[in-house]
Every structure is written in structure tokens, then in C-alpha cells.
Amino acid sequence: MLILDVMGRVLPEYSKTHLRIPFHLDEDCRRLRLKFEYTPKELEDRKRSLELLQQSFDAYLLPEQREPAMSQADRYLPLKNLITLSLDDPNGYRGACHRHDSVQELTLSAEQASPGLMAGPLPAGAWQATLSVHCIVTDSCDYKLQIWTEKEREVQ
């Protein structure tokens, strides 16, 4: 059963913030399925990419490193958006999926979990998905999170 279906748009200003998305789980849930996606993944505008890189070189590199770094700017391209998902059950943390895939289909049950998540009982009550917006380099980025629950007889 689809229990959560949210979408939204984040802007570069949302970088370095967490979006908390609460949802409720009933007693009879035996497995959770999640689909998390966001788009676009990459910044295609080369001029804008180089501007952003120049800003970060100015912030993070010693003055004498900046020019050599800029001459190798392609090492860092394309610049990417990064949003990661982590999950909390009513008792605490259930892991995170910190990777660059912009489409992730995840499952969680007592016996099995997608990499990054921790298998274990699925207690009923208030759960929370956290979307950590690490970095948005495009003008905007659309995300979508869907969560399905499966009862005993639906779980293979």
C-alpha cells in the first residue's frame, strides 16, 4: 500500500539543510519499500560550473593552488547535485544511503535491508525519512519520495 508520496523542489539555497518527512507505520507492516529520486543530477552549463568551482577554490585552496586547480577544472566536472536519504524508526536510526545514485529503490524488513539500512523489526508508530540536501548546483532540483508497506501475505 502506498503510504507516502511526496515531491518537492529544492533550490541552491537549500544546500546544507535537512528535509524531514514523517510517516506513520501500522502494526501489520512486514516490509517497507521506498523509492527516492531527484533530477537533474548534473549541472550541464559549463560556464556556471566553472564559476562555482572558482568560488570553491577561492574558499578552500591556498592562493598559489587556485590557478593550477582551475587549469584542471575538468577533473571535478560535471558538478553534481547530492541529496541523501536516511531513515528513523520510533526507536532510533535505521541507517543512511549515502551515495550518488539519483534513483534509489530500497527495501527494509526484519531479515533484510538495502545497503546502508539496518534490517530489524518494523515497529509501528512515527517514522521519519530525512532528505539531506548536501549540495544543489542546478537552478532547481525536483525530488520525489514514495513509500509502500507490505503485509505478511504480500512479502515473498
Partner 1 sequence: MKWLACELHTHTLHSDGSQTLEELAAGAVKLGFDAMALTDHNTMSGLAGKDVIASQFGLLILPGMEWTTFHGHMVTIGLSEYVDWRSADRSQIDEGIQEVHRLGGLAGLAHPFRIGSPACTGCFWEYEIQDWSVVDYIEVWSETFASIRTNNRRAYALWTDRLNEGLRISATSGRDWHAQKETGDPLSVTYLGIPEGELTTEEQLVNALREGRASVTMGPLLLLTVSLDGQSYGLGSMIQSSPQAQTKDQGELQADITIDFSVRPGLWSLPEQKFKLILCSDRGQELDAEVVWNGERSDDKWLRLSGLPLSSEPRKWLRAELWGTVRKVNTLIAFTNPIYFD
- Judged by CB under 8 A, the chain residues 90 through 149 that form the site for partner 1 are 92-93, 95-100, 113, 115-119, 130, 132, 134-135, 137
Helix/strand/coil (H, E, C) string of 117-147? ECCCCCCCEEEEEEEEEEECCCCCEEEEEEE
CB nearer partner 1, residue 29 or residue 83: 83
Residues in binding contact with partner 1, number by CB under 8 A: 38
CB nearer partner 1, residue 84 or residue 149: 84
Site membership for partner 1, residue 62 (CB under 8 A): yes
Site membership for partner 1, residue 44 (CB under 8 A): no
* Closest residue by Cα to residue 18 from 134, 142, 117: 134
What gap in Å lies between CA 13 and CA 98, rounded to an integer? Answer: 21
Residues that bind partner 1 (CB under 8 A): 15-16, 18, 52-53, 56-57, 59-62, 65, 69, 76, 79-80, 82, 84, 86, 92-93, 95-100, 113, 115-119, 130, 132, 134-135, 137
